[in-house]
Amino acid sequence: MNKIVIEYLSFLKNERNYSDKTIINYRKDLEEFLIFFKIDNYKQLDITKEDLRKYLRHLDELKYSSTTISRHLSSLRSFYNYLNVLGYYDKNIFKNIKNPKKPKKLPNFLQINEIEEILKNTNISNDIYFNIRNKLIIELFYSTGIRINELVMIKLSDININEKSIRIMGKGSKERIVYFGEILFNDLNDYLDNSRKYLKPKCDYLILNKFGNQITTRGVSNIFEKIISKSAIKHKVTPHTIRHTFATHLLNNGADLKTVQELLGHESLSTTGIYTHVSNERLRQIYLKTHPRNFH
């Protein structure tokens, strides 16, 4: 792989705190780009805007989705910004190059009874201490709306029990505060007073594996999949589905979009706007039931 790309990926991991999954995607995108232009050293990275358009047409001819092409473009834009900072490149070929329009995709979310069904089936182990931990994982997802890679990074020092808040380190090392209620408060105390001590912690991270070390995202995914498979829910559910559910339930119960944006850690309000489809339907139903001009 090109040396400058290796340095860039290391920068993303160590300085920007990007997830392993994101870095893998960036690497694949950049490798595909380098192969297309037969680039093997940084001096050949000096491409033109027409070269960039040619490459985007190539991706389109490969029948890549607009989402995938947008990701490629974002990967390249970020990489060339990095080259600009280092002085390897002094042009802005990305100016006026827009991402292809993405088809609007409504987020998948769960009903309250489905959340309750999941929580009823967290006892997937013969060991009560693991089950306490597993229930806490689900409650953390639903009560705070955090991402899976944010969950595994929570340390004891990030939790303020008295204020019922958790400091979260999100994408791009952006910090935010999330809050929780009585149910998570009780589950958290149960875990800290019992399960975590039983796991003989060897680190300061909140959620531990059976060896007392920080649990991985794969470890959490395995636990989550076992819980879902034990439940009566037959359609696909992921930790991110719970995040969608968190946002949707807040909006359905009267939260404003700006507040939900802050809790989710979205940089743009338009990103949070995908959740308003459910709230709009709720408003429509309330209008039909309550406005005098709709009575017959």
282 part of the active site:
no
Task: Please pick, among 27, 49, 171, 226, the residue that the annotation labels catalytic.
Answer: 171
Task: Give residue for tokens 């719970």.
Answer: 242
CA–CA gap between residue 195 and residue 239 (Å, rounded): 22
Task: Please pick, among 71, 133, 135, 147, the residue that the annotation labels catalytic.
Answer: 147
Under a CB-based contact definition with an 8 Å cutoff, are residues 177 and 264 in contact? no
179 part of the active site:
no
| Angle value at C-alpha 275, between 151 and 260, nearest 5 degrees | 55
Task: Give just the sign of the alpha carbon dihedral 206, 210, 212, 217.
Answer: negative
What residues contact 186, with CB distance under 8 A and at least 6 apart? none
The CA-atom distances, in angstroms, between 216 and each of 25, 108, 162, 272, 276 are 19, 24, 28, 27, 32
Q: What is the DSSP-derived secondary structure letter of residue 124?
A: -
244 part of the active site:
no
Task: Please pick, among 133, 196, 243, 244, the residue that the annotation labels catalytic.
Answer: 243
Angular region, 165: left φ>0, alpha ψ -120 to 50, beta rest: beta
275 part of the active site:
yes
CA dihedral 234, 235, 236, 239 (to 10 degrees): -80
Task: Please pick, among 102, 240, 258, 284, the residue that the annotation labels catalytic.
Answer: 240
71 part of the active site:
no
Closest by alpha carbon to 175, among 141, 152, 157, 150?
Answer: 150
243 part of the active site:
yes
* One-letter identity of residue 125: S
Task: Give residue for tokens 């994101």.
Answer: 22
Task: Please pick, among 26, 80, 191, 275, the residue that the annotation labels catalytic.
Answer: 275
Enumerate the active-site residues: 147, 171, 240, 243, 266, 275
